[in-house]
Structure 1
Amino acid sequence: MAVAQAIELSPEAAEIAALVARSRAAQAQIANYTQEQVDALIRAMVWSVAREDVAEKIAQHTVDETQLGNYDGKYLKIFRKTRATLHDIIHDKSVGVLEEDAVRNIVKIAKPVGVIGALSPSTNPEATPVIKAISAVKGRNSIIVAPHPRAKLTNKMICDLMREAIVKMGGPADLVLSIDIPSVEKTNELMRQCDRVLATGGTPMVKAAYSSGTPALGVGVGNAVITVDDTADLDDAAEKIRISKTLDLAASCSSDNSVILLDAIFDEMLEKLQHQGGYIVSPEEKTLLQNVIWVDGHINANAVAQPAEKIAGMAGFGLPEGKIFFIVPETGAGPDFPFSGEKMTVTMALYRAKDIDEAIALTNSIQAYQGQGHSCGIYSQSDENIMKLANGTRTSRVMVNQPQSASNSGNLWNGMRQTFSLGCGSWGGNGTNNNITWRDLINETWVSKPLAQPKVLPSDEDLFGDVIARLA
């Protein structure tokens, strides 16, 4: 009888296999935790990183390591966003019976998935590991975080803090593990060996997640388009667009990439955007800016999430004092109009539309190029216009009178679930439209009992009605 030979693993595969084994052993230790035990763990995990002194240290470390975004944006994410996410899920029931449907006589029971493999991007490396980790543990899973190499030290710092907190609460440290020296090969191995992939990052990594053979939750490309109609509070809209456009220097994929102003308020609103720090580039400066933001058709990593003054200097033109984001007049969409796409910089394309219908058509045209299914927004006091936009666009989220980048992933002023992982539906090549949370990281067992009174099929006349005659 032939003797089966052991398959020799690559060094990367062997390293990840060891991490997965540790993670799986830790997960088994909490598989039967009570709701109270689970919630105590995630509260400790957030507190370990979100205390004011620690949050300050993490925010500064993140900026120093990644050279992306700014301190204020990083601090808000680690101090405030993690707290808000915990607040959003802490009272959710995630252990035992989740729902009882009396009408269908069905009971739904939560079960852990196992080991979650999580990708963390360089643009949001401060809060992403925390939010994904507490979502995983809320479902009684363990997690292994694969960071972008540009943020590996930040990721390790945060994961180590959470590990220490877990141990102090009596849990196994290996509920949270990180790949300390990341590589594409190791990330691919993690996605192959874990039980579910939670992918946030660039398009190549999300595609790799879907191709890994492991059930994956991915996100689509962001390219938010914002409409301001003639009923909007223009001062409020201008301020919130500035907040959204400059938050963490546009590191977020939810930053306002294009703004559409209706004819009736175009000039007045443009003046208010300038007052908020917007700088309208000339045709010559537009060309110079384009050559800095894109190199060989790809976004220039050296321009991503940088101050406007630095980008202008790279492009070779000056920026007046007090100007903090670029306004680029644009008319078209698609590859021949690169400013219609995602820019990952404090750069906003500006469009003009005669009415809400043209704004909807423009939104769809822009997002057909990039960002379909992700998010759009509107500043308006007209429910008719709001619902027209919502019904007429291929989008998963419509933020109304809110700063897009601070709102679509959930905030205290709205009811969106708190996350940094935004599903974009089939429009964006994803399996879900959800703001992804712990509920997407569990299995559910449905217990079905017979109905007290069985359903009765209606007569053909009631069921098919006039269809019978029309098909005769």
Structure 2
Amino acid sequence: MSRQEEKMQAAQASQEQAAMTDVEKLQQKIAQMREAQRAFAAFTQEQVDRIFFEAAMAANKQRIPLAKMAVEETGMGVVEDKVIKNHYAAEYIYNSYKNVKTCGVIEEDTSYGIKKIAEPMGLVGAIIPTTNPTSTAIFKCLICLKTRNAILISPHPRAKKCTAEAARIVREAAEAAGAPKGLIDCIENPTLELSNELMRSADVILATGGPGMVKAAYSSGKPAIGVGPGNTPVIMDSSCDIQLAVYSVIHSKTFDNGMICASEQSVTAIEDIYDKVRAEFEKRGCHILNEEEMAKMRAIILTEAGTVNPKIVGQPAHKIAEIAGFEVPKDTKILIGEVTSVDSSEPFAHEKLSPVLALYKAKDFETALEMSERLIEDGGYGHTSSLYIHPSETEKMAQHAARMKTCRILINTPSSQGGIGDLYNFKLAPSLTLGCGSYGGNSVSENVNVKHLLNIKTVAERRENMLWFRTPQKVYFKKGCLPVALDELKTYYHKKKAFIVTDSFLYSSGHTKPITDKLDEMGITYACFYEVAPDPTLQCAQKGVEQIKAFQPDVMIALGGGSAMDAGKIMWLMYEHPECRFEDLAMDFMDIRKRVYMFPKMGEKAMFVAIPTSSGTGSEVTPFAIITDAETGTKWPIADYELMPNMAIIDTDYMMTQPKGLTSASGIDALTHALEAYVSIMATDFSDGMALKAVKNIFEYLPRCYDNGPNDPEAREKMANASTMAGMAFANAFLGVCHSMAHKLGAYHHLPHGVANALLIELVMRYNADPAPVKMGTFSQYPYPHAKERYCEMARFIGITGKDDDAVFENFIRAIADLKEKVGIKRTIRDYGIQKEDFLATLDEMVENAFNDQCTGANPRYPLMSEIKELYLKAYYGE
């Protein structure tokens, strides 16, 4: 291309550029900046940190020229203080975030499989105020560079030159250090139209300025980080160091002529120190306004619209007095108006952004709190409040913190310098944009920093939770082991008083005598409660607890089947923790470790010993108990490992005379425990071993127990072991929907629990074995539906075979049906005399309650209520 052609092309481009509207030019600039930011997003942490360093260094070097330029252009503030602001914006921001990870993986925990990845937000639209035109620009540019964002600045029209210069200095240093060109830019001639376009186009808006502008940012439809106005109220408590307090306020209020939004706007001194506070202000060069001066000042603090008068913002005290029409010495630090009203009609009660201060007197600390609350309501919601007080007055500090609706509560700290952070408290993040939370209508309630300009992607890998296998501390088993096991109460535990819980049959038939004889031998005194009935009631437990409280035992012994165990556990709980409410204790949980209600610590008053007399419930080794409120009919299922007995004694001598009905019902109950624990979504290798051996024992020895009774002690002992092993399995793996349904079937129609399980178990097995269920149980270690394979594993373990899993499963179902028939279990619910109309009348209620049962959640197939209803109907009529 010839030189002439180049000139013509350049001229054409220039003409096209001139023909574009300001909005179109801004849109073009934004498109270019987005390209630069996309390139920047690929930079490494090392590259970003180098750019961040060089940009901070460059801004720091130019802090004085920028300060001069800001004061010259805006006519506000103090050059020397603006130097400090610029210095702070460069040095403190760099120092705080130089080692913060903002690129790629910023956090990783391999044990939990969590990885957090930082990504930039994109293009930041930054609104810069006239009060801090260079320092805020430096701050925002630096945190954007650290987070790999582009930033387009909309300066205040009265500060556009100095703001643009601050942005230029940072941009050129960043580009010299390797940043893509065009990451940082500034609107040259800001207008409302261009500001609105910026807010529409940016990915996020970072707004610092007046309430109207911040509201516009939040109304733009884009994510916005905006901050509200301040109206910082100060309380000087009677206990405070008056000299420290007063000069801290002066130090803050005169800094840059009071233009930091955290600056104090009022001081409320308690009555007994008020005169000293007032005198200290005067001594330190502040001017207390007289009545005439007060009237003149009230006339100029606010505009007709009720906003701060821009003529006084950032001006020195003597000049403000001149504007008001009176004179004060040129070295006057603050103009102080003694006022009483905290109402919005009082101009001194507002934010003044200048060395003008309201001074209030409060009769006591409570009154001072009330006044500060009102001052915050009328213009400082969410921003900053301040308290000067002796450090020992912690109760007052707590009251102040509770009452102030502000996001920064500063103690014994100059609020301008204290609020921006890292100067008077080194854990308060340094920032020139101070969030006011929902109090002030803001999205951020802390000092804005780099984390607010990052999108954090969390990569969560699948992990299996830690599991457990919990049993009583001691489990004794073998025919005749009772006396030897009880020896430990004296020799190991040093117990002195035992309370026995049992039923009237066991008591009257002499089953408690071996226990009481041994207790007598050991010199342990005892008492006995023997009124436990099947399905024990809360009222029964309360009656027992009255005896327990009077006797004050240090060991409780439950003797019997599931009812005695449940009643004993509940009495133990009520004895140890009478304050507990059953509606809290019975609250269902998805994960016992994460339950809302945390179970109280047990065993503080007494240990618990469980001695079963039947081989079915396994309650002697489980953390479960059920109690019924006889007055309301409510059943309270209680589950927590704190209810696990401390000692279990499985002595077959207590099980030799079980009648046939109890033998069969309890035996099939134990079988169901093992089956459900084995296919539970929480099953483990530890629970599996117990479940498998339990099922093997049950198939081999339950028919012998049923047929031979006390004449087959080996079978009785093996069934006792099976019951306890199945209990250990489900105590750790939990149960399933068969038990959920059996609980309700037994409660509504008074069937023995083992029989209720027996009527449902094969139907539930077929239901669970579906390889494509509608829903699956939720637990991280359970990968996919595989209940059928688990049933087949159990079947093969006990010797059931077949050509494939389908055949093995069907043979297992038949084997369970045959076992039930051998021990006298009927086929259907209606075979037990339950009338159709009675069953159907309760069906819907049973369905919902079974769905809500604690056992349902561990079932491998998560049931729909309609599916539970179908299972109930099949169990009633027979398939």
The answer to whether the superposition gives a TM-score over 0.5 is: yes
Q: What is residue 129 of structure 2 aligned with on the other side?
A: 121
Contact 1:48 1:165 in 2 (8 A): yes
Which range moved further: 244-253 or 96-105? 96-105
Q: What is residue 51 of structure 2 aligned with on the other side?
A: 41
1:287-326 correspondence to structure 2 within 5 Å:
287-296=295-304, 297-320=306-329, 322-326=331-335
Which range moved further: 27-36 or 192-201? 27-36
Measured after TM superposition, the shift of residue 46 of structure 1 is 1.5
Q: Secondary structure at the match of 1:185?
A: helix
Q: Secondary structure at the match of 1:342?
A: coil
**1:334-381 CA deviation, whole Å, 9 max, x = no partner?**
321121111111111111122322222111111111101100011112
Measured after TM superposition, the shift of residue 444 of structure 1 is 0.8
Measured after TM superposition, the shift of residue 10 of structure 1 is 8.5
Q: What is residue 447 of structure 2 aligned with on the other side?
A: 435
1:404 aligns with 2:415: yes
Separation of aligned partners in 1, 2:257 and 2:112: 50
Separation of aligned partners in 2, 1:460 and 1:141: 42
Separation of aligned partners in 2, 1:303 and 1:77: 20
Q: What is residue 371 of structure 1 aligned with on the other side?
A: 380
1:394 aligns with 2:405: yes
Percent of pairs identical after alignment?
33
Measured after TM superposition, the shift of residue 451 of structure 1 is 3.1
Which range moved further: 187-196 or 447-456? 447-456
Contact 1:244 1:403 in 2 (8 A): yes
Q: For 1:424, give the aligned amino acid.
A: C
Closer, same or farther in 2 for the Cα pair 1:160/1:364, shift >3 Å? Answer: same
Separation of aligned partners in 1, 2:411 and 2:274: 19
Measured after TM superposition, the shift of residue 332 of structure 1 is 1.8
Contact 1:49 1:161 in 2 (8 A): yes
1:211 aligns with 2:223: no
Give the TM-score normalised by the residue count of structure 1. Answer: 0.93
Q: For 1:238, give the aligned amino acid.
A: V
Separation of aligned partners in 2, 1:152 and 1:460: 59
Q: What is residue 361 of structure 2 aligned with on the other side?
A: 352
Q: What is residue 285 of structure 2 aligned with on the other side?
A: 277
1:30 aligns with 2:30: no
1:445 aligns with 2:457: yes
Closer, same or farther in 2 for the Cα pair 1:177/1:348, shift >3 Å? Answer: same
Measured after TM superposition, the shift of residue 285 of structure 1 is 1.0
Q: What is residue 30 of structure 2 aligned with on the other side?
A: 20
Q: What is residue 575 of structure 2 aligned with on the other side?
A: none
Contact 1:334 1:341 in 2 (8 A): no
**1:253-306 CA deviation, whole Å, 9 max, x = no partner?**
111101111122111111111222221111221110111222213322111110
Q: For 1:384, give the aligned amino acid.
A: E
Which range moved further: 160-169 or 188-197? 160-169
> Equivalent of 2:71, from 52, 63, 68?
63
Closer, same or farther in 2 for the Cα pair 1:317/1:40, shift >3 Å? Answer: same
Measured after TM superposition, the shift of residue 14 of structure 1 is 1.0
Q: What is residue 136 of structure 1 aligned with on the other side?
A: 144
Measured after TM superposition, the shift of residue 98 of structure 1 is 2.3
Q: What is residue 590 of structure 2 aligned with on the other side?
A: 457
Q: What is residue 5 of structure 1 aligned with on the other side?
A: none
Separation of aligned partners in 1, 2:155 and 2:296: 33
1:111 aligns with 2:111: no
1:223-302 correspondence to structure 2 within 5 Å:
223-296=231-304, 297-302=306-311
Closer, same or farther in 2 for the Cα pair 1:102/1:257, shift >3 Å? Answer: farther
Q: What is residue 6 of structure 1 aligned with on the other side?
A: none
Closer, same or farther in 2 for the Cα pair 1:440/1:321, shift >3 Å? Answer: closer
Separation of aligned partners in 2, 1:40 and 1:225: 42
Separation of aligned partners in 2, 1:123 and 1:459: 56
Q: Secondary structure at the match of 1:174?
A: coil
Which range moved further: 81-90 or 146-155? 81-90
Contact 1:195 1:215 in 2 (8 A): yes
Measured after TM superposition, the shift of residue 459 of structure 1 is 6.5
Q: For 1:432, give the aligned amino acid.
A: V
Contact 1:112 1:140 in 2 (8 A): yes
1:58-207 correspondence to structure 2 within 5 Å:
58-100=66-108, 105-207=113-215
Closer, same or farther in 2 for the Cα pair 1:460/1:300, shift >3 Å? Answer: closer
Q: Secondary structure at the match of 1:261?
A: strand
Q: For 1:396, give the aligned amino acid.
A: C
Separation of aligned partners in 1, 2:178 and 2:42: 14
Structure 1 unaligned segments of length 5 or more: list them.
Answer: 1-8
Separation of aligned partners in 1, 2:118 and 2:132: 30
Q: Secondary structure at the match of 1:445?
A: strand
Closer, same or farther in 2 for the Cα pair 1:460/1:33, shift >3 Å? Answer: closer
Pair member with larger Rg: 2
Separation of aligned partners in 1, 2:221 and 2:110: 37
Closer, same or farther in 2 for the Cα pair 1:10/1:404, shift >3 Å? Answer: farther
Measured after TM superposition, the shift of residue 86 of structure 1 is 1.1
Q: For 2:79, give the aligned amino acid.
A: Y
Measured after TM superposition, the shift of residue 187 of structure 1 is 0.8
Q: What is residue 348 of structure 2 aligned with on the other side?
A: 339
Q: What is residue 4 of structure 1 aligned with on the other side?
A: none
Measured after TM superposition, the shift of residue 196 of structure 1 is 0.3
Closer, same or farther in 2 for the Cα pair 1:206/1:447, shift >3 Å? Answer: same
Structure number with the higher helix fraction is: 2
Measured after TM superposition, the shift of residue 434 of structure 1 is 1.6
Closer, same or farther in 2 for the Cα pair 1:36/1:340, shift >3 Å? Answer: same
Measured after TM superposition, the shift of residue 413 of structure 1 is 3.1
Separation of aligned partners in 2, 1:283 and 1:383: 38
Q: Secondary structure at the match of 1:299?
A: coil
1:417 aligns with 2:429: yes
Separation of aligned partners in 2, 1:368 and 1:412: 28
Contact 2:232 2:384 in 1 (8 A): yes
Separation of aligned partners in 1, 2:234 and 2:198: 37
Q: Secondary structure at the match of 2:296?
A: helix
Contact 2:228 2:441 in 1 (8 A): yes
Q: What is residue 662 of structure 2 aligned with on the other side?
A: none
Separation of aligned partners in 1, 2:239 and 2:97: 36
Contact 2:301 2:347 in 1 (8 A): no
Q: Secondary structure at the match of 1:396?
A: strand
Separation of aligned partners in 2, 1:103 and 1:378: 45
Contact 1:242 1:277 in 2 (8 A): no
Separation of aligned partners in 2, 1:82 and 1:225: 29
**1:379-417 CA deviation, whole Å, 9 max, x = no partner?**
112222222211111110111111101111113331211
Structure 2 unaligned segments of length 5 or more: list them.
Answer: 1-18, 468-588, 600-627, 635-879
Separation of aligned partners in 1, 2:594 and 2:144: 50
Measured after TM superposition, the shift of residue 135 of structure 1 is 0.9
Contact 2:417 2:423 in 1 (8 A): no
Measured after TM superposition, the shift of residue 102 of structure 1 is 6.5
Separation of aligned partners in 1, 2:292 and 2:113: 67
Q: For 1:171, give the aligned amino acid.
A: A
Measured after TM superposition, the shift of residue 179 of structure 1 is 0.6
Separation of aligned partners in 1, 2:54 and 2:224: 27
**1:299-335 CA deviation, whole Å, 9 max, x = no partner?**
2211111011111111111214542211111212232
Separation of aligned partners in 2, 1:465 and 1:343: 52
